[in-house]
Amino acid sequence: MVNSLAPARVAGRAVLLIPHRGEGLDEAALPGDYARILTIVRAADRPVQIRAVGKELGLEVAVRRNLKPLRAKMAKLADRGWLRKRPGRGFTTRR
């Protein structure tokens, strides 16, 4: 079995793999930034926009390019089953 948090190489760069959500896995399986994102989205009582998460993380949200890495992380969490992308570009946690 491959350790899902072990660094891997993609195009010569070290990257951290994000595990698919499954039984027996909780937020502890995620790297720090991803776990913080999940905590912020979970604390919201409605779908959360990327800009709102960025603001909670202390990012300069007025500059769109500052949100690109966050958008990619949230999309990755949605692809792996940790978040659900809602119509209108909001995110919620999976129940």
CATH topology of domain 7-93: Arc Repressor Mutant, subunit A (1.10.10)
Please state the pTM of the whole predicted model: 0.79
Q: What angle do CA 14, 18, 21 make, to 5 degrees?
A: 170
User: Between β-strands 90-93 and 48-49, what pairing exists: parallel, antiparallel or unpaired?
Assistant: antiparallel
* For the chain, domain boundaries: 7-93
For 58-67, the pLDDT digits (tens) are: 999 998 898 9
Tens of pLDDT along 16-45? Answer: 678 888 878 888 889 889 999 999 999 998
